[in-house]
């Protein structure tokens, strides 16, 4: 499992509320990623980080922000959740061989 | 633009039949390609990486640069192979180096 955990694993929230998802790794890898998984769309990159305080946008970054204040944690924030952000969110790290390893996912429902 | 296409949303086969999951890509240069598998409600797991040329769980995939394809094959499907399969391409632009571009996935269903 490459030492990757995500919290919470499930969350139900209401439209307009802020939501923060946490990804934690124990392997000290530099690169971390947030994806969303939706039927018919596969996985799409939201944001990624290439070091502490170094982040960049992915394909579907609108409505999301990220922070990385220490190597082991990468936070994804929905400032004001919308129903279109109902999805399964996966965190990933890039290992030494450039292969990405995924966390268990967070299932988010926005009502 | 870099793109990964998996033309089949669903592939249904009987146990013991051969399986081929198609993946085509568009990319200029030397691609780095992966197959990931996701069993029901679990995390994605790396199945194959083209550069390693391994065979995992009986699956193989060969990179065909002429046809820009990286199809996943298994000679005899098992029921436990039922899962979602994603093909992915590693981006090579300076900005996106190492980022993965995923296809939309193919759901494999192996019937008894």
For A23-60, the DSSP string reads: EEESS--S-EEEEEEETTTEEEEEEEEEETTEEEE-TT
Distance of CA A69 to the CA centre of its chain: 15
Q: Which of residues 53-72 of A touch B (CB under 8 A)?
A: 56, 58
First vs last Cα of chain A: how many Å apart?
31
User: What is the C-alpha separation between A104 and B44, in angstroms, rounded?
Assistant: 8
pLDDT digits (tens, 9 = 90+) for B39-89: 998 899 999 988 777 778 899 998 898 899 999 999 999 999 999 999 999
What pLDDT is recorded for position B95?
A: 61
pLDDT digits (tens, 9 = 90+) for B11-43: 999 999 999 999 999 987 778 899 999 999 889
The two three-digit tokens of residue A8, written as one number: 């919470």
User: What is the C-alpha separation between A63 and A34, in angstroms, rounded?
Assistant: 13
| Count of C-beta atoms within a 10 Å radius of residue A52 | 13
Averaged pLDDT, B94-109: 85
Q: Which of A42, A58, A102 sits opposite B105 (nearest CB)?
A: A42
What pLDDT is recorded for position B85?
A: 97
User: What is the C-alpha separation between A77 and A70, in angstroms, rounded?
Assistant: 16
Q: Which of B6, B49, B102 sits opposite A99 (nearest CB)?
A: B49
- From chain B, pick out residues whose CB is under 8 angstroms from the CB of A104: 42-43
What pLDDT is recorded for position B92?
A: 66
CB B46 to CB A33 under 8 A? no
Work out the minimum CA distance from B85 to partner chain A, whole angstroms. Answer: 10
pLDDT digits (tens, 9 = 90+) for A31-63: 999 999 998 899 999 999 999 999 999 989 999
């Amino acid at each position: 499992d490459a030492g990757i955990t995500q919290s919470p694993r499930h969350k139900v929230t209401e439209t307009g509320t802020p939501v923060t998802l946490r990804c934690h790794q124990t392997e000290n890898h530099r690169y971390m990623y947030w994806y969303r998984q939706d039927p018919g769309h596969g996985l799409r990159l939201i944001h990624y980080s290439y070091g502490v305080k170094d982040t960049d946008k992915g394909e579907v970054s609108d409505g999301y922000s990220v922070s990385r204040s220490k190597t082991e944690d990468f936070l994804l924030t929905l400032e004001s959740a919308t129903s279109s952000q109902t999805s399964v969110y996966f965190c990933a790290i890039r290992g030494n061989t450039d292969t990405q390893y995924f966390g268990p996912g967070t299932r988010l429902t926005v009502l | 633009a870099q793109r990964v296409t998996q033309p089949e949303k669903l592939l249904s086969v009987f146990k013991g039949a051969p399986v081929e999951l198609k993946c085509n890509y568009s990319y200029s240069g030397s691609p780095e390609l992966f197959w990931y598998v996701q069993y029901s409600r679990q995390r994605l797991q790396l199945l194959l990486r083209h550069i390693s040329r391994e065979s995992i769980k009986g699956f193989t995939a060969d990179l065909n640069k002429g046809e820009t394809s990286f199809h996943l094959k298994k000679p005899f499907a098992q029921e436990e192979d039922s899962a979602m399969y994603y093909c992915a391409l590693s981006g090579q632009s300076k900005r996106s180096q190492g980022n993965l571009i995923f296809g939309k996935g193919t759901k494999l269903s192996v019937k008894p």
